């Protein structure tokens, strides 16, 4: 399922990129530009990122940061859809597909995604 996203709004908020926290083990792949897709559960009230929006990935409030630009946003109703339609080597670089699927299943509990699904945020490092 594809979300039709308008370009990011031009507001004062754009001067301060939104921060998304990631697990420490995934941060080096983002920093090196190897991971270019981040999967997130969609929770009630979660503001979907817009194409062109600048995001900052960090592992903690005081850690180093990586800024990226959103180039695509896709919504999936199930984890199975993510595993089928997204490029796993862009989500879990350096991990074989079968291991990537197991890793994804351990991260995303069915209860977390039943209501609103998952989004794939595709980005490029800036």
| pLDDT for residue 1 is more than 70 | no
Please, are residues 26 and 93 in contact by the beta-carbon 8 Å criterion?
no
Of 3 and 91, which is predicted with more confidence? Answer: 91
Share of the chain above pLDDT 90, in %: 61
CA distance 113 to 83: 14
pTM (two decimals): 0.82
Average of per-residue pLDDT across 73-93: 94
Q: Minimal CA–CA distance to 121: which of 90, 83, 89?
A: 90
Separation between Cα atoms, residue 10 and residue 32, nearest integer Å: 29
**Which pLDDT score is estimated for 116?**
85
| CATH fold for the domain made of 15-125 | 2.30.130
Instruction: Mean pLDDT check: name the lowest of 51-55, 81-85, 100-104.
Output: 100-104
Q: Which residues contact 74 (CB under 8 A, 6 or more apart)?
A: 1, 2, 3, 85, 86, 119, 120, 122
pLDDT mean over 63-76: 95
Domain boundaries, the chain: 15-125
């Amino acid at each position: 399922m594809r979300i039709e996203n308008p370009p990011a709004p031009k507001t004062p908020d754009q001067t301060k990129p939104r921060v998304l926290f990631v697990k420490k083990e995934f941060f080096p792949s983002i920093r090196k530009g190897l991971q270019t897709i981040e999967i997130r559960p969609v929770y009630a009230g979660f503001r979907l990122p817009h194409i062109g929006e600048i995001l900052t990935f960090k592992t903690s409030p005081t850690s180093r940061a990586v800024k990226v630009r959103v180039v695509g946003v896709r919504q999936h109703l199930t984890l199975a859809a993510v595993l089928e339609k997204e490029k796993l080597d862009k989500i879990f670089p350096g991990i074989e597909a079968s291991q990537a699927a197991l890793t994804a299943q351990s991260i995303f509990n069915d209860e977390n995604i039943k209501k609103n699904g998952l989004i794939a945020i595709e980005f490029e490092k800036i």
